[in-house]
Amino acid sequence: MDLFDTFKKLFHHSIDNTSAAEQTLPRGNNPPVKITFSREPPADSPSPDIVPLSVRLKKAVPTMRGLYPHEILMLEYAHTYSTDLSHQHFQGFWYYEYSVEHPGDVVKSLEKRGFIQPGNLRSAIENQTVPVIKNELRAIGQKVSGKRLI
């Protein structure tokens, strides 16, 4: 419990906004603890910069069909994206983890090369749940009772 008390006290005291700050915390009957904070990253810490995709691709080995790791991952996620890429928002991990600045371009490339194809209305309806379909029918004023026949 001593460790958690130390952290509680640490965050309840104000810290100077300069580049470094020192704080001494009392620990009951034990000698006080002196803690130094620095707002500067250590010199040996890894660079926070993101490695460009072009640099990553120089070291990457494509599959026999010419797919790179980020493209293989995109195949896994492609079914969740819309074909209208102008209004599509992609998750931040594409850039921060895989250096892909324009995931929509990767989707277009995979489609152009024949790895993915847009779904049709039938497949979209088959993958929806009954409550979603009923909500869509209500929105256009159609009957919502009955079975889902496809």
Q: Which residues contact 37 (CB under 8 A, 6 or more apart)?
A: 15, 20, 21, 22, 23
Q: Per-residue confidence of the chain (150 residues) as pLDDT tens digits? A: 566 666 566 555 454 444 455 666 666 677 776 666 555 555 544 446 788 888 888 988 899 999 999 999 999 998 888 777 777 788 888 888 888 888 999 999 999 999 999 888 888 888 788 888 889 889 999 888 876 666
CA distance 137 to 145: 10
pTM for this predicted structure? 0.54
Q: Are the C-beta atoms of 118 and 111 separated by less than 8 Å?
A: yes
What backbone torsions phi and psi does residue 39 show, to the nearest 5 degrees?
-85, -10
